[in-house]
Structure 1
């Protein structure tokens, strides 16, 4: 686009390539004053600054999310070899390559074990729907009362919660050894003089490399911040 003016000192066409027409002021003597256009960084500076601020905010939110999603390494999960309900030896190390949920319990537990096992069955069902259970994820339930928790008793207990034994291992070993094993997993399991067991109601999350990544407090504990089946499922998925 061009502007044409007639008069002394004015050429027929005034055009500024690449910048569009500049504002023109005509003096009384017929000469023209050309007002230079503002540089692009002046014209768009505010918009660019706002865009840069938005990028910084997005980057900060992504970093915060990654930090929230990252689980610490609590140490190597102690290895052990116990028998399952079929009398077969199962070692913790033989399950490496899978994410594991390890839970110490006993079938005669009057309070937290049944609802926690039910919650684990819900996690099992979610993982089965994904095709991950037994393939990339196992649940390992270890009894702290192996004298009363015979293979038959463990099977009855597992059947009650529709356990899929292809990915859910109910294991039993020596009683004293199991109490010591629980302590190595950061849990307390003790037997009083009356033969009653007390234990920390926590689920230990173990990654594919055999490292403990979290001790999850299940909702059956009654604590406001305790984990639901959805929370446990999401924690497992982070390690897939």
Structure 2
């Protein structure tokens, strides 16, 4: 995202009043805003201009938000803030599992949505700092190389697809090897604003990330669970 250009946000919701509210509010706060009422209109807007972030309602006519998120994640890592009128924990978990970066239950205050959007955009813009080395932009563990400038992960030279949320979590863990990080600590590192103490989004991210880097996600060696305390990143990927 170019800091000299207004961030472009695509808001997808079938409530015309909400679309107009967010178009006006986000526009008055320095954003360029496009709106869509369903998946068909969303794809037309995506073809016209790639957004810096998407605000996507879970319950849409026709193709719902979960299906649209899955489709987006095949070819794009654009940050997605998912909305849902139901606010059920299962909805939130599924939304994060399929690749959404954050979740906001309706009704919500426009200021909270603005804060979360800004946090998502900052995470996509600023790399997490890793310890200095001979190759300061490249952190290595096992067959993996984490490019902290390009926000990319490679395995034996081949790039792996990560969402921005998955990348941020991995970068935070890699920056603190062999140290137990509690869920609250990780929330503070990754979110930048207060969260529900029962929020399980960190656990969901860990689950998704393990599927991509662990030989056996059920018996992880890189990202270990320390019961009652949090998670520990072991760059050796072994019991040693």
TM over 0.5: no
Give the TM-score band, short-chain normalised. Answer: under 0.3
TM-score (norm 1): 0.24
Where relative contact order (Cα < 8 A, 6+ residues apart) is larger, the structure is 1
TM-score (norm 2): 0.24
Computing the radius of gyration over CA atoms, which structure comes out larger, 1 or 2?
1
